[in-house]
Amino acid sequence: MDDDNSRTLDFKEFVKGLNDYAMMIDKEEAQEIFRIFDKDGSGTIDFDEFLVTLRVSLGIYVITALS
């Protein structure tokens, strides 16, 4: 997804990555998801932000599924 090898994802790369994985969502939904991942509000998602958000989301999913 990191097309420019900056080790971060900007919004354009993020949306392209979603589309590459057949996640067709509208721009407003993509912006909302991007803001969730972009913890520090820098306008980019770094690897740590990406992993932390996935871990939290997966953890909530597992807890909900097991309840």
| Residue 17 pLDDT > 80 | yes
In whole angstroms, give the CA distance from residue 66 to residue 18. Answer: 28
**Alpha-carbon distance values, 62 to 36, 57, 59, 65, 67 (Å):** 19, 9, 5, 5, 9
The yes-or-no verdict on residue 8 having pLDDT over 90 is: yes
* Mean pLDDT (whole number) for 35-42: 95
Domain ranges of the chain: 8-66
CATH code, residues 8-66: 1.10.238
pTM: 0.77
pLDDT beyond 90 at 58: no
pLDDT at 49: 93
Question: DSSP secondary-structure letter at 43?
Answer: S
